[in-house]
């Protein structure tokens, strides 16, 4: 099962910031909630009878032996040997998601 992973999405954002494609967003939690809609997947899985899908939000061990911890992505960026200056910015999101009732 290929469940969306906010940890993987966050790791991709750190890599794009590392290569200077984007600033690392200060509001990364809000962006992940908007982009990686785990609730949509969960609803579809339940409707298909796939309620036994489990997910562990643990650190990711990368190919070079380093560990990516989603709890502190900035520390991960700062720990890299090969890096550029990382800049952070608030990323404006148009049309905020409606609040749940």
Mean pLDDT value across residues 4-21: 89
More confident residue, 53 or 101: 53
- What is this structure's pTM? 0.75
Confidence at residue 99, expressed as pLDDT on a 0 to 100 scale: 62
Q: What tens digit of pLDDT does each residue of 38-61 get?
A: 878 888 888 888 876 666 677 888
pLDDT of residue 54: 67
pLDDT of residue 101: 47
pLDDT tens for 70-84 read 899 988 888 888 767
Domain limits, the chain:
6-87
Could you tell me the sign of the dihedral formed by the alpha carbons of 49, 44, 32, 9, in that order? positive
Q: Write the Ramachandran bin of 12: left for phi over 0, alpha for psi from -120 to 50, otherwise beta.
A: alpha
Per-residue pLDDT band for 98 (boundaries 50, 70, 90) equals low
Helix residue spans in the chain (DSSP H): 6-18, 28-35, 38-47, 73-79
């Amino acid at each position: 099962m290929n469940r969306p992973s906010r940890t993987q999405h966050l790791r991709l954002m750190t890599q794009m910031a590392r290569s200077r494609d984007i600033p690392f967003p200060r509001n990364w939690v809000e962006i992940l909630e908007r982009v990686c809609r785990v609730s949509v997947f969960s609803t579809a899985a339940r409707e298909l009878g796939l309620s036994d899908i489990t997910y562990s939000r643990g650190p990711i061990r990368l190919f070079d032996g380093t560990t990516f911890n989603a709890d502190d992505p900035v520390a991960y960026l700062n720990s890299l040997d090969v890096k550029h200056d990382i800049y952070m910015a608030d990323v404006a999101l148009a049309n905020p998601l409606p609040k749940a009732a």
